[in-house]
A and B are shown apart, each in its own frame.
Chain A
Amino acid sequence: MSKLVLQSLTKRFGGLVAVNGVDLEMTEGEILGIIGPNGAGKTTLINLISGIHVPTSGNVFFDGKDISTFPAHERSKMGIARTFQLIHPLENLTALQNVMIGFMFAQGMNQKDAGVAAQKTCESLKLEHVERDVGQLTILETKKMEIAKTLACGPKVLFLDEVMAGLNSDETKDLIETVKRIAQEHNLAIGVVEHVMGVIKMLTARVIVLDAGEIIAQGPYNEVSQKPEVIKAYLGGEA
Protein backbone atom coordinates (compact mmCIF):
# COMPACT_ATOMS: atom_id res chain seq x y z
CA MET A 1 0.00 0.00 0.00
CA SER A 2 1.14 3.54 -0.67
CA LYS A 3 2.49 5.34 2.34
CA LEU A 4 1.53 8.78 1.13
CA VAL A 5 -1.31 9.65 -1.24
CA LEU A 6 -2.14 13.10 -2.57
CA GLN A 7 -5.55 13.67 -4.15
CA SER A 8 -6.09 16.71 -6.39
CA LEU A 9 -4.06 18.77 -3.94
CA THR A 10 -4.36 22.50 -4.60
CA LYS A 11 -2.92 25.61 -2.95
CA ARG A 12 -3.77 29.16 -3.87
CA PHE A 13 -1.99 32.27 -2.66
CA GLY A 14 -4.48 35.00 -3.50
CA GLY A 15 -4.81 34.87 -7.27
CA LEU A 16 -1.78 32.60 -7.74
CA VAL A 17 -2.26 28.84 -7.92
CA ALA A 18 1.04 27.49 -6.56
CA VAL A 19 -0.01 23.83 -6.56
CA ASN A 20 -2.81 22.76 -8.85
CA GLY A 21 -4.68 19.45 -8.63
CA VAL A 22 -1.71 17.25 -7.85
CA ASP A 23 -2.35 13.49 -7.61
CA LEU A 24 0.56 11.41 -6.35
CA GLU A 25 1.41 8.19 -4.54
CA MET A 26 4.66 7.36 -2.79
CA THR A 27 5.69 3.96 -1.48
CA GLU A 28 8.32 2.94 1.05
CA GLY A 29 11.81 2.34 -0.29
CA GLU A 30 11.16 4.54 -3.29
CA ILE A 31 13.11 7.67 -4.15
CA LEU A 32 10.99 10.06 -6.17
CA GLY A 33 12.44 13.02 -8.04
CA ILE A 34 10.45 16.26 -7.96
CA ILE A 35 11.63 18.63 -10.67
CA GLY A 36 10.41 21.70 -12.46
CA PRO A 37 11.46 25.27 -13.19
CA ASN A 38 11.71 27.99 -10.52
CA GLY A 39 8.36 28.81 -9.00
CA ALA A 40 6.81 25.56 -10.24
CA GLY A 41 5.44 24.76 -6.80
CA LYS A 42 7.92 22.13 -5.56
CA THR A 43 8.54 23.70 -2.16
CA THR A 44 4.86 24.53 -1.74
CA LEU A 45 4.01 20.88 -2.39
CA ILE A 46 6.37 19.87 0.45
CA ASN A 47 4.85 22.55 2.69
CA LEU A 48 1.39 21.11 2.05
CA ILE A 49 2.51 17.58 2.87
CA SER A 50 4.41 18.57 6.01
CA GLY A 51 1.61 20.80 7.30
CA ILE A 52 3.25 24.20 6.98
CA HIS A 53 0.44 25.19 4.63
CA VAL A 54 -3.18 24.05 4.71
CA PRO A 55 -4.42 23.04 1.24
CA THR A 56 -7.04 25.19 -0.43
CA SER A 57 -8.63 21.97 -1.68
CA GLY A 58 -7.71 18.33 -2.11
CA ASN A 59 -6.38 15.87 0.43
CA VAL A 60 -3.24 14.37 1.92
CA PHE A 61 -3.49 10.75 3.10
CA PHE A 62 -0.83 9.14 5.24
CA ASP A 63 -1.16 5.42 5.97
CA GLY A 64 -4.68 5.71 4.59
CA LYS A 65 -5.62 8.45 7.02
CA ASP A 66 -6.69 11.91 5.89
CA ILE A 67 -4.22 14.29 7.52
CA SER A 68 -5.00 17.35 5.37
CA THR A 69 -5.73 19.57 8.37
CA PHE A 70 -3.31 18.09 10.90
CA PRO A 71 -0.85 20.59 12.40
CA ALA A 72 2.80 20.31 11.36
CA HIS A 73 4.05 19.01 14.70
CA GLU A 74 1.52 16.16 14.60
CA ARG A 75 2.62 15.17 11.12
CA SER A 76 6.22 15.25 12.23
CA LYS A 77 5.34 12.82 15.03
CA MET A 78 3.57 10.55 12.53
CA GLY A 79 6.74 10.27 10.43
CA ILE A 80 6.67 13.02 7.84
CA ALA A 81 10.02 14.83 7.80
CA ARG A 82 11.57 17.40 5.53
CA THR A 83 14.57 19.66 5.07
CA PHE A 84 14.32 23.32 4.16
CA GLN A 85 15.46 24.94 0.96
CA LEU A 86 16.73 27.87 3.01
CA ILE A 87 18.37 25.96 5.82
CA HIS A 88 17.97 27.36 9.29
CA PRO A 89 20.30 25.64 11.73
CA LEU A 90 19.15 26.51 15.25
CA GLU A 91 21.66 28.93 16.68
CA ASN A 92 22.88 28.93 20.27
CA LEU A 93 22.80 25.14 20.04
CA THR A 94 25.50 22.68 18.99
CA ALA A 95 25.05 20.42 15.98
CA LEU A 96 24.28 17.53 18.32
CA GLN A 97 21.65 19.55 20.18
CA ASN A 98 20.08 20.51 16.87
CA VAL A 99 19.68 16.81 16.11
CA MET A 100 18.41 16.01 19.62
CA ILE A 101 15.31 18.16 19.12
CA GLY A 102 13.60 15.73 16.75
CA PHE A 103 14.33 12.79 19.04
CA MET A 104 12.84 14.66 21.98
CA PHE A 105 9.77 16.21 20.44
CA ALA A 106 8.86 14.13 17.42
CA GLN A 107 9.78 10.82 19.07
CA GLY A 108 9.15 11.79 22.70
CA MET A 109 12.53 10.74 24.09
CA ASN A 110 13.98 12.21 27.27
CA GLN A 111 17.01 14.46 27.08
CA LYS A 112 19.55 11.76 27.90
CA ASP A 113 18.27 9.15 25.44
CA ALA A 114 17.97 11.84 22.79
CA GLY A 115 21.64 12.72 23.29
CA VAL A 116 22.71 9.10 22.81
CA ALA A 117 20.44 8.61 19.80
CA ALA A 118 21.58 11.86 18.18
CA GLN A 119 25.21 10.85 18.62
CA LYS A 120 24.50 7.55 16.89
CA THR A 121 22.66 9.20 14.01
CA CYS A 122 25.49 11.67 13.46
CA GLU A 123 28.02 8.84 13.48
CA SER A 124 26.01 6.89 10.93
CA LEU A 125 26.10 9.94 8.64
CA LYS A 126 29.84 10.39 9.33
CA LEU A 127 29.07 13.82 10.74
CA GLU A 128 31.92 14.95 12.95
CA HIS A 129 32.37 18.08 15.07
CA VAL A 130 28.95 17.56 16.61
CA GLU A 131 30.01 19.57 19.66
CA ARG A 132 30.57 22.64 17.54
CA ASP A 133 28.22 25.54 17.37
CA VAL A 134 26.24 25.28 14.15
CA GLY A 135 27.89 28.42 12.79
CA GLN A 136 31.28 26.67 12.69
CA LEU A 137 30.26 23.74 10.49
CA THR A 138 31.32 23.37 6.85
CA ILE A 139 28.62 23.36 4.18
CA LEU A 140 28.70 19.58 3.85
CA GLU A 141 28.54 19.18 7.62
CA THR A 142 25.61 21.57 7.78
CA LYS A 143 23.77 19.61 5.09
CA LYS A 144 24.42 16.35 6.90
CA MET A 145 23.18 17.90 10.09
CA GLU A 146 19.99 18.93 8.33
CA ILE A 147 19.52 15.32 7.19
CA ALA A 148 20.33 14.07 10.68
CA LYS A 149 17.66 16.42 12.04
CA THR A 150 15.06 14.79 9.79
CA LEU A 151 16.17 11.26 10.73
CA ALA A 152 15.80 12.30 14.37
CA CYS A 153 12.07 12.65 13.77
CA GLY A 154 11.83 8.93 12.97
CA PRO A 155 10.59 9.50 9.41
CA LYS A 156 8.69 7.14 7.18
CA VAL A 157 8.41 9.73 4.43
CA LEU A 158 11.19 12.24 3.86
CA PHE A 159 11.48 15.27 1.59
CA LEU A 160 14.81 16.81 0.69
CA ASP A 161 14.43 20.31 -0.74
CA GLU A 162 17.59 21.08 -2.74
CA VAL A 163 19.98 19.66 -0.15
CA MET A 164 22.74 19.35 -2.74
CA ALA A 165 22.73 23.06 -3.59
CA GLY A 166 26.05 24.74 -2.85
CA LEU A 167 28.10 21.54 -2.73
CA ASN A 168 31.04 20.74 -5.02
CA SER A 169 31.01 17.53 -7.05
CA ASP A 170 32.85 15.38 -4.48
CA GLU A 171 30.59 16.56 -1.72
CA THR A 172 27.56 15.96 -3.91
CA LYS A 173 28.68 12.36 -4.54
CA ASP A 174 29.18 11.90 -0.82
CA LEU A 175 25.68 13.14 -0.07
CA ILE A 176 24.08 11.09 -2.87
CA GLU A 177 25.56 7.93 -1.33
CA THR A 178 24.29 9.05 2.07
CA VAL A 179 20.76 9.55 0.78
CA LYS A 180 20.75 6.17 -0.99
CA ARG A 181 21.96 4.49 2.17
CA ILE A 182 19.39 6.04 4.50
CA ALA A 183 16.59 5.24 2.06
CA GLN A 184 17.53 1.56 2.34
CA GLU A 185 18.39 1.46 6.02
CA HIS A 186 15.21 3.19 7.12
CA ASN A 187 13.00 1.87 4.30
CA LEU A 188 11.92 5.42 3.55
CA ALA A 189 9.81 6.97 0.87
CA ILE A 190 11.96 9.92 -0.18
CA GLY A 191 11.03 12.90 -2.33
CA VAL A 192 14.04 14.72 -3.74
CA VAL A 193 13.83 18.22 -5.16
CA GLU A 194 16.92 19.12 -7.20
CA HIS A 195 17.81 21.44 -10.01
CA VAL A 196 20.94 19.42 -10.86
CA MET A 197 19.67 16.72 -13.20
CA GLY A 198 22.76 14.57 -12.66
CA VAL A 199 21.69 14.11 -9.07
CA ILE A 200 18.14 13.21 -10.10
CA LYS A 201 19.47 10.65 -12.61
CA MET A 202 21.68 8.97 -10.03
CA LEU A 203 19.15 8.89 -7.23
CA THR A 204 15.68 8.35 -8.56
CA ALA A 205 13.75 5.65 -10.36
CA ARG A 206 10.81 7.93 -11.11
CA VAL A 207 10.32 11.67 -11.37
CA ILE A 208 7.39 14.04 -11.53
CA VAL A 209 7.72 17.30 -13.41
CA LEU A 210 5.85 20.27 -12.01
CA ASP A 211 5.09 23.38 -14.01
CA ALA A 212 2.90 26.20 -12.77
CA GLY A 213 1.69 23.93 -9.99
CA GLU A 214 0.64 21.03 -12.20
CA ILE A 215 2.26 17.67 -12.87
CA ILE A 216 2.97 17.82 -16.58
CA ALA A 217 4.88 14.55 -16.89
CA GLN A 218 6.03 11.58 -14.86
CA GLY A 219 8.09 8.43 -15.30
CA PRO A 220 11.78 7.49 -15.36
CA TYR A 221 14.00 10.53 -15.78
CA ASN A 222 15.41 9.44 -19.14
CA GLU A 223 11.94 9.16 -20.66
CA VAL A 224 10.51 12.26 -19.07
CA SER A 225 13.41 14.46 -20.10
CA GLN A 226 12.70 13.71 -23.77
CA LYS A 227 9.08 14.84 -23.63
CA PRO A 228 8.38 18.04 -25.56
CA GLU A 229 6.19 19.54 -22.83
CA VAL A 230 9.01 19.12 -20.30
CA ILE A 231 11.59 20.67 -22.59
CA LYS A 232 9.16 23.47 -23.24
CA ALA A 233 8.59 24.11 -19.53
CA TYR A 234 12.32 24.35 -18.92
CA LEU A 235 12.94 26.59 -21.89
CA GLY A 236 10.25 29.02 -20.79
CA GLY A 237 7.41 28.15 -23.14
CA GLU A 238 9.13 28.95 -26.43
CA ALA A 239 10.37 25.61 -27.71
Chain B
Amino acid sequence: MSKYIKTIVMAAVAVLAVAFPFYTGAYPQSIAQSVLTYMILAVSWDMLLRTGQISFGIAGFFGIGSYAAVLSMLYLNLPPMLTILIGGIIAGAIAGLLGIAVLRLRGMYFAIVTLAVAEIFRIIMTNLKGFTGGPEGELLPQLIFQGNPYLTYYLMFGMAVLTIIISEIFLRSRVHYALTAIRNDEIVARSSGVNIFKYLVIIFIVTSVIQGMTGGINAQTYGFVTPESSFSLDYTLLPLAMALLGGIYGTMGPVVGALLLGIVSEYLKLYIPYGHLVIYGIIVVIVILYMPQGIVGLAARIRKAGARNE
Protein backbone atom coordinates (compact mmCIF):
# COMPACT_ATOMS: atom_id res chain seq x y z
CA MET B 1 0.00 0.00 0.00
CA SER B 2 2.55 2.57 1.12
CA LYS B 3 4.70 1.51 -1.82
CA TYR B 4 1.94 2.55 -4.23
CA ILE B 5 1.52 5.86 -2.46
CA LYS B 6 5.25 6.46 -2.67
CA THR B 7 5.29 5.71 -6.39
CA ILE B 8 2.29 7.96 -7.02
CA VAL B 9 3.78 10.81 -5.00
CA MET B 10 7.08 10.47 -6.80
CA ALA B 11 5.39 10.45 -10.20
CA ALA B 12 3.38 13.52 -9.23
CA VAL B 13 6.50 15.36 -8.10
CA ALA B 14 8.27 14.44 -11.33
CA VAL B 15 5.39 15.68 -13.48
CA LEU B 16 5.20 18.86 -11.44
CA ALA B 17 8.93 19.44 -11.77
CA VAL B 18 8.85 18.91 -15.52
CA ALA B 19 5.75 21.04 -16.13
CA PHE B 20 6.82 23.71 -13.67
CA PRO B 21 8.61 26.15 -16.01
CA PHE B 22 5.62 26.42 -18.34
CA TYR B 23 3.32 27.83 -15.70
CA THR B 24 5.57 30.21 -13.86
CA GLY B 25 7.66 33.28 -14.50
CA ALA B 26 11.38 33.73 -14.66
CA TYR B 27 11.77 34.39 -10.95
CA PRO B 28 10.23 31.19 -9.53
CA GLN B 29 12.09 29.31 -12.17
CA SER B 30 15.45 30.69 -11.10
CA ILE B 31 14.57 29.77 -7.51
CA ALA B 32 13.71 26.27 -8.66
CA GLN B 33 17.04 25.92 -10.40
CA SER B 34 18.86 27.08 -7.30
CA VAL B 35 16.90 24.60 -5.16
CA LEU B 36 17.86 21.82 -7.58
CA THR B 37 21.51 22.87 -7.37
CA TYR B 38 21.53 22.67 -3.59
CA MET B 39 19.54 19.44 -3.70
CA ILE B 40 22.20 17.76 -5.82
CA LEU B 41 24.94 18.97 -3.48
CA ALA B 42 22.97 17.83 -0.42
CA VAL B 43 22.41 14.32 -1.82
CA SER B 44 26.05 14.01 -2.86
CA TRP B 45 27.23 15.17 0.56
CA ASP B 46 25.02 12.55 2.17
CA MET B 47 26.41 9.84 -0.11
CA LEU B 48 29.87 10.41 1.36
CA LEU B 49 28.45 10.76 4.87
CA ARG B 50 27.17 7.19 4.61
CA THR B 51 30.82 6.09 4.98
CA GLY B 52 31.05 8.13 8.19
CA GLN B 53 33.17 10.85 6.56
CA ILE B 54 31.95 14.43 6.99
CA SER B 55 33.09 16.67 4.16
CA PHE B 56 33.30 20.45 4.37
CA GLY B 57 34.74 20.58 0.88
CA ILE B 58 31.64 20.67 -1.33
CA ALA B 59 32.27 24.27 -2.41
CA GLY B 60 35.80 23.31 -3.41
CA PHE B 61 34.74 20.72 -5.97
CA PHE B 62 31.78 22.82 -7.06
CA GLY B 63 34.16 25.73 -7.69
CA ILE B 64 36.73 23.55 -9.46
CA GLY B 65 33.97 22.30 -11.78
CA SER B 66 32.79 25.87 -12.40
CA TYR B 67 36.25 27.10 -13.31
CA ALA B 68 37.08 24.03 -15.39
CA ALA B 69 33.89 24.51 -17.42
CA VAL B 70 34.43 28.21 -18.04
CA LEU B 71 38.17 28.03 -18.71
CA SER B 72 37.94 25.02 -21.02
CA MET B 73 35.37 26.93 -23.05
CA LEU B 74 37.39 30.13 -23.15
CA TYR B 75 40.74 28.55 -23.95
CA LEU B 76 39.81 25.42 -25.88
CA ASN B 77 36.58 26.61 -27.42
CA LEU B 78 34.82 23.39 -26.48
CA PRO B 79 31.04 23.03 -26.69
CA PRO B 80 29.31 23.98 -23.39
CA MET B 81 27.91 20.53 -22.67
CA LEU B 82 31.37 19.03 -23.01
CA THR B 83 32.85 21.63 -20.66
CA ILE B 84 30.35 20.57 -17.97
CA LEU B 85 31.60 17.01 -18.33
CA ILE B 86 35.16 18.31 -18.10
CA GLY B 87 34.22 20.13 -14.90
CA GLY B 88 33.17 16.78 -13.46
CA ILE B 89 36.21 14.91 -14.73
CA ILE B 90 38.68 17.45 -13.34
CA ALA B 91 36.92 17.61 -9.98
CA GLY B 92 36.93 13.79 -9.89
CA ALA B 93 40.60 13.55 -10.85
CA ILE B 94 41.59 16.03 -8.16
CA ALA B 95 39.44 14.12 -5.64
CA GLY B 96 41.19 10.89 -6.61
CA LEU B 97 44.67 12.30 -6.12
CA LEU B 98 43.73 14.14 -2.97
CA GLY B 99 41.73 11.23 -1.60
CA ILE B 100 44.76 8.97 -1.48
CA ALA B 101 46.22 11.30 1.13
CA VAL B 102 43.14 12.78 2.80
CA LEU B 103 41.05 9.65 3.12
CA ARG B 104 43.46 8.27 5.70
CA LEU B 105 42.07 10.92 8.04
CA ARG B 106 38.90 10.49 10.02
CA GLY B 107 36.25 12.56 11.73
CA MET B 108 37.17 16.13 12.56
CA TYR B 109 40.56 15.86 10.86
CA PHE B 110 39.02 14.89 7.54
CA ALA B 111 36.39 17.62 7.85
CA ILE B 112 38.90 20.37 8.56
CA VAL B 113 41.27 19.27 5.80
CA THR B 114 38.49 19.24 3.19
CA LEU B 115 37.54 22.74 4.29
CA ALA B 116 41.15 23.88 3.99
CA VAL B 117 41.54 22.26 0.59
CA ALA B 118 38.47 24.11 -0.74
CA GLU B 119 39.98 27.33 0.55
CA ILE B 120 43.30 26.55 -1.14
CA PHE B 121 41.50 26.03 -4.46
CA ARG B 122 39.88 29.42 -4.07
CA ILE B 123 43.19 31.12 -3.30
CA ILE B 124 44.88 29.46 -6.26
CA MET B 125 42.12 30.64 -8.58
CA THR B 126 42.42 34.16 -7.17
CA ASN B 127 46.16 34.27 -7.74
CA LEU B 128 46.53 32.68 -11.17
CA LYS B 129 45.62 36.05 -12.65
CA GLY B 130 46.78 35.48 -16.22
CA PHE B 131 44.89 32.20 -16.48
CA THR B 132 41.78 32.59 -14.33
CA GLY B 133 41.12 36.31 -14.38
CA GLY B 134 42.19 36.68 -10.74
CA PRO B 135 39.75 38.16 -8.22
CA GLU B 136 37.43 39.41 -10.99
CA GLY B 137 37.10 35.96 -12.50
CA GLU B 138 36.09 35.29 -16.10
CA LEU B 139 33.01 36.00 -18.17
CA LEU B 140 31.71 33.75 -20.93
CA PRO B 141 30.96 35.45 -24.27
CA GLN B 142 27.61 33.66 -24.41
CA LEU B 143 25.41 31.56 -22.16
CA ILE B 144 24.61 27.90 -22.67
CA PHE B 145 21.49 27.34 -24.83
CA GLN B 146 21.69 31.07 -25.65
CA GLY B 147 20.47 31.68 -22.13
CA ASN B 148 17.19 29.80 -22.60
CA PRO B 149 15.99 29.39 -18.98
CA TYR B 150 13.78 26.39 -19.76
CA LEU B 151 16.70 24.44 -21.04
CA THR B 152 19.07 25.36 -18.21
CA TYR B 153 16.37 24.35 -15.75
CA TYR B 154 15.96 21.00 -17.47
CA LEU B 155 19.70 20.49 -17.54
CA MET B 156 19.93 20.97 -13.78
CA PHE B 157 16.81 18.85 -13.34
CA GLY B 158 18.45 16.09 -15.38
CA MET B 159 21.55 16.34 -13.19
CA ALA B 160 19.37 16.04 -10.08
CA VAL B 161 17.62 12.96 -11.46
CA LEU B 162 20.97 11.41 -12.32
CA THR B 163 22.29 12.11 -8.82
CA ILE B 164 19.19 10.64 -7.19
CA ILE B 165 19.48 7.52 -9.36
CA ILE B 166 23.15 7.04 -8.44
CA SER B 167 22.33 7.56 -4.77
CA GLU B 168 19.54 4.97 -4.94
CA ILE B 169 21.71 2.47 -6.80
CA PHE B 170 24.31 2.78 -4.06
CA LEU B 171 21.62 2.30 -1.40
CA ARG B 172 20.25 -0.85 -3.01
CA SER B 173 23.48 -2.58 -3.97
CA ARG B 174 26.33 -4.16 -2.06
CA VAL B 175 27.91 -0.71 -1.85
CA HIS B 176 25.32 0.06 0.82
CA TYR B 177 26.53 -2.84 2.96
CA ALA B 178 30.15 -1.86 2.58
CA LEU B 179 29.48 1.76 3.51
CA THR B 180 27.24 0.91 6.45
CA ALA B 181 29.87 -1.49 7.77
CA ILE B 182 32.61 1.12 7.39
CA ARG B 183 30.53 3.75 9.16
CA ASN B 184 29.72 1.40 12.03
CA ASP B 185 33.10 -0.07 12.69
CA GLU B 186 36.07 -0.07 10.36
CA ILE B 187 37.84 -2.94 12.09
CA VAL B 188 34.78 -5.15 11.81
CA ALA B 189 34.38 -4.13 8.16
CA ARG B 190 38.01 -4.97 7.35
CA SER B 191 37.72 -8.29 9.14
CA SER B 192 34.71 -9.11 6.96
CA GLY B 193 36.69 -8.59 3.78
CA VAL B 194 35.68 -4.99 3.03
CA ASN B 195 38.47 -3.02 1.35
CA ILE B 196 37.73 0.23 3.16
CA PHE B 197 40.12 2.45 1.27
CA LYS B 198 38.81 1.33 -2.10
CA TYR B 199 35.23 2.22 -1.19
CA LEU B 200 36.18 5.56 0.36
CA VAL B 201 38.13 6.59 -2.73
CA ILE B 202 35.37 5.50 -5.11
CA ILE B 203 32.67 7.38 -3.21
CA PHE B 204 34.85 10.45 -2.82
CA ILE B 205 35.50 10.53 -6.56
CA VAL B 206 31.87 9.91 -7.56
CA THR B 207 30.50 12.62 -5.27
CA SER B 208 33.19 15.06 -6.39
CA VAL B 209 32.36 14.42 -10.06
CA ILE B 210 28.72 15.18 -9.27
CA GLN B 211 29.67 18.37 -7.43
CA GLY B 212 32.04 19.42 -10.22
CA MET B 213 29.44 18.88 -12.94
CA THR B 214 26.88 20.81 -10.93
CA GLY B 215 29.35 23.68 -10.65
CA GLY B 216 29.89 23.42 -14.41
CA ILE B 217 26.16 23.66 -15.14
CA ASN B 218 25.82 26.58 -12.76
CA ALA B 219 28.73 28.46 -14.35
CA GLN B 220 27.40 27.81 -17.84
CA THR B 221 23.94 29.02 -16.79
CA TYR B 222 25.10 32.33 -15.36
CA GLY B 223 28.10 32.73 -17.66
CA PHE B 224 30.79 33.68 -15.17
CA VAL B 225 33.11 32.52 -12.43
CA THR B 226 34.69 34.46 -9.59
CA PRO B 227 36.61 33.04 -6.64
CA GLU B 228 34.13 34.53 -4.17
CA SER B 229 30.93 33.31 -5.83
CA SER B 230 32.13 29.99 -7.28
CA PHE B 231 33.77 28.83 -4.04
CA SER B 232 31.16 30.44 -1.79
CA LEU B 233 30.87 28.75 1.59
CA ASP B 234 27.11 28.67 0.93
CA TYR B 235 27.71 25.69 -1.35
CA THR B 236 29.14 23.79 1.60
CA LEU B 237 26.95 24.93 4.46
CA LEU B 238 23.50 25.06 2.87
CA PRO B 239 23.52 21.50 1.48
CA LEU B 240 24.75 20.28 4.84
CA ALA B 241 21.90 22.04 6.68
CA MET B 242 19.40 20.71 4.13
CA ALA B 243 20.54 17.12 4.51
CA LEU B 244 20.47 17.39 8.30
CA LEU B 245 16.98 18.88 8.28
CA GLY B 246 15.58 16.32 5.86
CA GLY B 247 17.38 13.35 7.39
CA ILE B 248 20.73 11.72 6.65
CA TYR B 249 21.80 8.32 5.23
CA GLY B 250 19.19 8.24 2.47
CA THR B 251 18.12 10.01 -0.72
CA MET B 252 14.75 11.25 0.47
CA GLY B 253 16.07 13.28 3.42
CA PRO B 254 18.39 15.62 1.50
CA VAL B 255 15.77 16.00 -1.25
CA VAL B 256 13.02 17.00 1.19
CA GLY B 257 15.42 19.20 3.17
CA ALA B 258 16.57 21.02 0.03
CA LEU B 259 13.00 21.64 -1.11
CA LEU B 260 11.90 23.02 2.24
CA LEU B 261 14.92 25.02 3.21
CA GLY B 262 15.63 26.19 -0.34
CA ILE B 263 12.16 27.64 -0.86
CA VAL B 264 11.78 29.07 2.63
CA SER B 265 15.15 30.77 2.50
CA GLU B 266 14.46 32.37 -0.90
CA TYR B 267 11.40 34.09 0.50
CA LEU B 268 13.18 35.06 3.68
CA LYS B 269 15.92 36.62 1.62
CA LEU B 270 13.35 39.07 0.21
CA TYR B 271 12.24 40.28 3.62
CA ILE B 272 15.44 40.08 5.65
CA PRO B 273 18.63 40.08 3.61
CA TYR B 274 21.00 37.51 5.12
CA GLY B 275 18.11 36.52 7.38
CA HIS B 276 18.10 33.15 5.68
CA LEU B 277 21.49 32.40 7.16
CA VAL B 278 20.18 33.02 10.67
CA ILE B 279 17.28 30.68 9.95
CA TYR B 280 19.73 28.05 8.72
CA GLY B 281 21.71 28.30 11.91
CA ILE B 282 18.63 27.98 14.07
CA ILE B 283 17.36 25.01 12.07
CA VAL B 284 20.66 23.16 12.31
CA VAL B 285 20.76 23.64 16.07
CA ILE B 286 17.15 22.50 16.56
CA VAL B 287 17.54 19.49 14.29
CA ILE B 288 20.74 18.31 15.92
CA LEU B 289 19.28 18.69 19.39
CA TYR B 290 15.75 17.43 18.94
CA MET B 291 15.39 15.41 15.75
CA PRO B 292 18.70 13.82 14.79
CA GLN B 293 16.92 11.70 12.17
CA GLY B 294 15.49 14.72 10.39
CA ILE B 295 12.04 15.11 8.88
CA VAL B 296 12.13 11.81 7.03
CA GLY B 297 13.16 9.94 10.18
CA LEU B 298 10.45 11.68 12.17
CA ALA B 299 7.84 10.78 9.55
CA ALA B 300 8.95 7.14 9.67
CA ARG B 301 8.63 7.12 13.46
CA ILE B 302 5.14 8.60 13.31
CA ARG B 303 4.13 6.04 10.69
CA LYS B 304 5.43 3.20 12.82
CA ALA B 305 3.64 4.50 15.90
CA GLY B 306 0.44 4.80 13.86
CA ALA B 307 0.80 1.24 12.58
CA ARG B 308 1.20 -0.05 16.13
CA ASN B 309 -1.95 1.71 17.31
CA GLU B 310 -4.09 0.17 14.60
* Given A73-B194, A73-B196, A101-B194, residue A84 in contact with residue B187 (CB < 8 A): yes
Which of A91, A92, A93, A153 interacts with B193 by CB under 8 Å? A153
Q: Which residues of B contact A111 (CB under 8 A)?
A: 173-174, 177
**A93 → chain B, closest Cβ, in Å?**
6
On chain A, which size bracket covers the interface?
20 to 34
Contact B180 A104 (CB under 8 A): no
Complex contacts, A153 vs chain B, CB 8 Å: 191-193
A81 touches B177 (CB 8 A): no
Judged by a CB distance under 8 angstroms, whether B310 is at the interface is no
Please, which residues of chain A bring their CB within 8 A of the CB of B173?
A: 111
CB-CB nearest in chain A for B194? A105
Instruction: Please count the residue pairs between chain A and chain B whose beta carbons lie under 8 angstroms apart in the complex.
Output: 79
Determine if B191 and A76 form an interchain contact, defined as CB atoms under 8 angstroms apart: yes
Q: Is the CB of A71 within 8 A of B181?
A: no
Q: A84-B188, A92-B184 are in contact. Are A97 and B177 (CB under 8 A)?
A: yes
Interface membership of A51, Cβ < 8 A = yes
Measured CB to CB, the residues of B under 8 A from A are 173-174, 177-178, 180-181, 184-185, 187-196, 249
Indicate if the CB atoms of B177 and A76 lie closer than 8 Å: no
Contact of B177 with A102 in the complex, beta carbons under 8 Å? no
Question: A107 at interface (Cβ–Cβ under 8 A)?
Answer: yes
A110 at the interface (CB under 8 A from B): yes
| Complex contact B195–A73 (CB within 8 A) | yes
- In the complex, which residue of chain B has the Cβ closest to the Cβ of A75? B191
User: Is B193 a contact partner of A88 (Cβ separation < 8 A)?
Assistant: no
Determine whether the beta carbon of B184 is less than 8 Å from that of A81.
no
A130-174: CB near B (< 8 Å → 1, else 0) gives 000000000000000000010011000000000000000000000
Query: Given A51-B190, A110-B174, A111-B174 in contact, is the A92-B196 Cβ separation under 8 Å?
Result: no
- A105 with B192: in contact, given A92-B249, A110-B174, A111-B173 (CB under 8 Å)? yes
Q: Which residue of A lies closest to B195 (CB)?
A: A73
Given A52-B187, A90-B181, A90-B185, are A107 and B193 neighbors across the interface (CB < 8 Å)? yes
CB pair B187 A101 closer than 8 Å: no
On whether the beta carbons of B192 and A101 are closer than 8 Å, the reply is yes
Shortest beta-carbon distance from B196 to chain A in Å: 7
Decide: A104 and B174 in contact? CB cutoff 8 A: yes
A77 within 8 A of B: yes
By the criterion CB–CB under 8 Å, are B190 and A106 in contact? Answer: no
**Does A82 sit within 8 A of B, measured CB to CB?**
yes
A34 at interface (Cβ–Cβ under 8 A)? Answer: no
- Asked if B190 and A88 make an inter-chain contact with CB atoms under 8 angstroms apart, the answer reads no
Nearest-CB distance from A224 to chain B (Å)?
A: 29
Task: Given A73-B196, A111-B174, check contact A52 B191 (CB 8 Å).
Answer: yes
The one of A52, A88, A104 that contacts B177, using a Cβ cutoff of 8 Å: A104
Given contacts A71-B195, A84-B191, 5 further A-B contacts (CB under 8 A): A84-B187, A101-B178, A101-B194, A102-B192, A114-B174
- Closest chain B residue to A81, Cβ basis: B191
Question: Within the complex, what minimum Cβ distance (angstroms) separates A196 from chain B?
Answer: 24
List the A side residues contacting B187 at CB < 8 Å. Answer: 52, 72, 84, 88
Contact A90 B184 (CB under 8 A): yes
Verify if A50 is at the interface (C-beta below 8 Å from B). Answer: yes
Tell me the A44-92 residues at the B interface (CB within 8 Å): 50-52, 71-73, 76-77, 81-82, 84, 88, 90-92
Q: Are B185 and A88 in contact (CB under 8 A)?
A: yes
Which of A90, A110, A153 lies at the interface centre, i.e. has the most chain B CB atoms within 10 A of its CB? A90
